[in-house]
Amino acid sequence: MIKGLSGDVTVNIIASIIASLVLLAAGFLWGKYKERRKYGRNLEDYDFYPFTINRENFPEFNLKDFRLGMHYFLKNNDYTAARQLIFIGEQNNVRAQLEPSEQKVYARLYDKYDGKKIADDTTEYLENYVRIVRLIGKSFPNSGIEILLHNLADPSHSLIVLENNVTGRHLRDGTTNLLIDLKKRQLQHEDKLNYELEIGSRKFKCTTIPILRKDFGIVGAICINIDANYLTDEVMQSKERIEAWFKNF
């Protein structure tokens, strides 16, 4: 009798544990489902992700797929993927590539998902980098070492910080191929390190460091440019100039 009762209790306990685990799993899956419906998926999960791999095995912006995504997210809500699409569109100056009728569709998409906030959030995200670049630049004045910061959410006016100007650039200058170049290197797991740049007759040794933001990829870049002509033609000409150069550090 006691053994039978003990066996029944054991069975009931096991059944209760199993039922609790089932309910817990169901609750977890339901929560994930609700979260996914609220925030959506990554744009890369969709067939119309607007980048294709070209013959050189590099990513290339695909306007046709961008249009498909634009129309899809007007009819179907996906907060995450739609904002990623808008961010990519702004990076690739998509307004200038769309026909007038498609520009109106894009404007509706931009308003629906609060596109301006995407740019504002990126600017806010880069604020700490702004401070870092300024402080580093001011630490090495008159050294022939330029440091600058690009906001790649706005490639047409990307240059937002410029310290120790040696390349002749200006704030709010744009960049043409920097974003694509960084994407290529990211795909190849390659750094943009210690490369040469020529502007007129002057040579520079350069390093570019991409800034990544979760869900949006490359949103900015820090560039360090060393004026090789200044170092060889001026600094290295005398012991006094070399000493003065090191005093700046």
The predicted model scores a pTM of: 0.72
69 vs 12, residue with greater confidence = 69
Torsion of CA 83, 87, 88, 90, to 10 degrees: 130
Percent of the chain whose pLDDT exceeds 70: 82
pLDDT at residue 139 is higher than 60: yes
Q: Is the dihedral of CA 177, 181, 182, 187 positive or negative?
A: positive
CA atoms within 13 A on the CB side of 76: 12
Strand, helix or coil for residue 22? helix
The pLDDT value recorded for residue 170 is 94
The pLDDT value recorded for residue 106 is 97
29 vs 98, residue with greater confidence = 98
For the chain, the domain total comes to 3
Q: Any idea what the CATH number is for the domain that residue 155 is in?
A: 3.30.450
**What is the mean pLDDT of the segment spanning 209-226?**
92
Q: What is the largest CA-CA distance in the chain?
A: 105
Whether 133 and 240 share a structural domain: yes
Cα separation, 128 vs 211, whole angstroms: 12
Are 219 and 211 spatial neighbours (Cβ–Cβ below 8 Å)?
Answer: yes
Residues forming beta bridges with residue 213, ordered by sequence position: 217
pLDDT at residue 44 is higher than 90: no
Whether 27 and 57 share a structural domain: no
Whether 139 and 206 share a structural domain: yes
Domain membership of residue 118 (yes or no) is no
Whether 156 and 219 share a structural domain: yes
- Give the sheet arrangement for strand 202-213, strand by strand: 159-163, 145-151, 217-227, 202-213, 192-199
Give pLDDT tens digits for 149-196. 999 888 888 999 999 999 999 999 988 678 778 888 877 788 888 888
Q: How many helices (H) and strands (E) does the chain have?
A: 9, 7
26 vs 116, residue with greater confidence = 116
Cα separation, 178 vs 223, whole angstroms: 11
Mean pLDDT of the chain, nearest integer? 82
Domain residues for the domain of 47 are 43-113
**Number of C-beta neighbours around residue 153 at 10 A:** 22
Whether 161 and 242 share a structural domain: yes
Whether 127 and 216 share a structural domain: yes
